[in-house]
A and B are shown apart, each in its own frame.
Chain A
Amino acid sequence: MSSQKVNVCYVPRVEGQGSIKVEVGRGGRVKKCQFAIFEPMRFFEAFLRGRKFYEVHELASRICGICPIAHQMTALRAVENAFGVEVSQQTKQLRTLLALSGWIQSHALSVFMLTAPDYLGFDGAISMAAKHRDIVQTALRIKKLGNDVGEIVGGRAIHPISAVVGGFTKIPTEEELEPLLARLKSARKEVLETVKTIAGFDYPAVDRDSELVAISSGNEYAVNEGRLVSNLGLEASEAEYRSYILERQVAYSNAKQSFVKGRGSFMVGPLARVVLNHEQLSPGARKLIKDIDLNLQSTDPFMNIKARVIEILHAIEESIRIIRKLRLDVAEQPARVRTGVPCSGAALTEAPRGLLYHSYTFDKSGVVTAADIVPPTAHNSAHVEDSLRAFCPKVVAAGGDLSLQCEMLIRAYDPCISCSVHAVDLSKGV
């Protein structure tokens, strides 16, 4: 067997600019394995300094156009933790609804439009639509529904405007939310109809055990709040995050790589959440685990795709439950913030693609003096390389298309590369 090289200099069908360099030598020895991110640095940590506490979530939203809601929710909670602001139960529920709308649109895009073309033999969703118009139309309808929920609750789907520190500037009315119920129910049906196709894909496999990390909460399938846990026994609060998750800079990439202290790389995202928190999934989503045969012991990144479908169903069912339960006080005003003392705060949430960390420090007038943001793709980037290293020799031995298979592995993580280039701890740099 001769040696094989892969150099994908711009991985398509993922958000942002990343590349893969792999070299598998004779006998299957991996000589080189790099997942490099060449997305230009955007210096959020530099220009967030000097901005006021009430602008942080508005600016942080612009870290990512695919998961702006996740960045907003995390920034809002980090700021509120810093200033000791308690938000109402209503605010928490609306924020969960908003975050789930982000999951629905992001997962629908990832599963049906970015991933499915690989398994059905097309170069993208548009060309796939010629033969599989039903799948693409289902995807577009579900994605639109997610965006519409986001628009009703947050005022705008991409970079929402009504979620602010302490609450919401406008509470949606029951007349606005009610029509969503019928659409959510029909989306649930559509997901169940499409799921066979997705579950039936011929998935490659990465045969390697790894640590799965997510936040977890006793009450619900954790989205906006919870404790840091892993399948290897990690257990910490969001304030303790930095004592357990460490970072390393690598010369060839603009994103730092993350490790669990004393262990190694880890994976965040849908599979980690389903494995760690499956007991809190909605009834339909729990049933789907069995129906599509997702092994809850698996740590294979390709199983993120199945987990994503399970989470679409969960997000739809949970949104229905929340909307039915809401008794809205439309006159509620955002909680007040008191500045005057320097303070700092951190928050962990689950973005569509996994664990997201924000931390900010403020001076006495509420101006940012330090920021630390670690997005899911930065958490995953070392794990991506470890998976490639285990995966490539097998592909070469089986005579597969190494370049395409590597891309498929990357897309299984659904990376969001624009996000990842902010993985820089400002407080250490100055």
Chain B
Amino acid sequence: MAEGKPRLAVFKFTGCAGCQMELLRLEDELLQIAERISIAYFMMAQSRVDLGPYDLCLVEGSVSTPRELEELKRIRSVSRILVAFGDCAVAGCLPSIRNWISQYKAESYVYEDTTPIMSIRVHGIGEYVPVDMVLPGCPPHKDLIFALITSALQGIRPDLKYHPVCVECKLRENVCILRSLGKPCMGPVTRAGCGAICPSYGRECEGCYGPMSDANAGQLARLFKKNGMSDDDAVRKFRKYAGMTDEFRAEAGI
């Protein structure tokens, strides 16, 4: 790789690698991106290891072990723009569901001998270090990843969406499945970006992009319950992709 190109790093902590896979879904753009940047660290795709510094650093996954926390601090110190890449890195996503079980209990559910287990409460990376950009989604759509990478390279703010899924759903002219069918749709409190795929495929939004700004989760939970949902089911709705966020925390049962 030539000198002088911006240097990209992709790290993975506790997660499923789905966000990296979504990045690799930029099949039409990948080779062009690679001409403009130097891939300094991307263990899933390349053997060459470059320990920094990085211009743009995407971190997928949540922090769930002391080793990851140490690694995160090191990565922060060598990264110019650090991105929380996907829901796990943003606020813990599904792995954070276990934060509602006591640490010892969660470990003993899984291991007979818990002494060698080094796990800590699950958090997004922003809990521990300053984060420059946040890209939500489980996984974030490849168009958003592309927008983020190209904006970061140009030094401008990426055009990410802060409005609810409802806006995208209206643009696709879907019938509102919350109002018309009474299905428990998370769309009104969930951040857009997916293109409202679930309502377009005849089902309720599950909230996999986490909360939109100023989400009124309490009101939506009351509506779900008015439509006949049990208290336990309502908690399960909010304690899934973003239970640890300020917006969903009360309904997720803290």
Contacts and interface: CB of A to CB of B under 8 A. Distances in A.
A185 interface: no
Given A15-B44, A140-B27, 16 more contacts: A13-B44, A41-B110, A42-B15, A42-B64, A43-B95, A46-B101, A64-B17, A65-B15, A126-B45, A144-B25, A144-B28, A162-B201, A162-B203, A418-B15, A418-B16, A429-B112
Contact of A124 (B14, B15, B47, B93): B47
B197 A429 contact: no
Given A13-B47, A47-B97, A40 B14 contact: yes
B98 A47 contact: yes
Contact of A141 (B27, B98, B200): B27
Nearest to A48: B97
Contact of A62 (B18, B44, B98): B18
Interface magnitude class on chain B: 35 or more
B20 interface: yes
A127 interface: yes
B201 A169 contact: yes
Interface in B4-19: 12-19
Interface of B: 12-22, 24-25, 27-28, 30-31, 34, 39, 42-49, 64-65, 67-68, 93-95, 97-98, 101, 105-106, 108-112, 116-117, 119, 138-139, 194, 197-198, 200-203, 206, 208, 233, 236, 240
A68 B108 CA distance: 27
B16 A65 contact: yes
A155 B48 contact: no
A123 B39 CA distance: 11
Contacts of B24: 109, 143
23 contacts: A13-B45, A15-B44, A40-B65, A43-B110, A46-B98, A47-B101, A55-B240, A62-B18, A62-B94, A68-B16, A68-B18, A117-B47, A124-B39, A126-B31, A140-B31, A141-B27, A147-B27, A155-B200, A158-B139, A169-B201, A169-B203, A426-B109, A426-B110
A51 interface: yes
A157 interface: yes
Contacts of A59: 94
Interface string A205-232: 0000000000000000000000000000
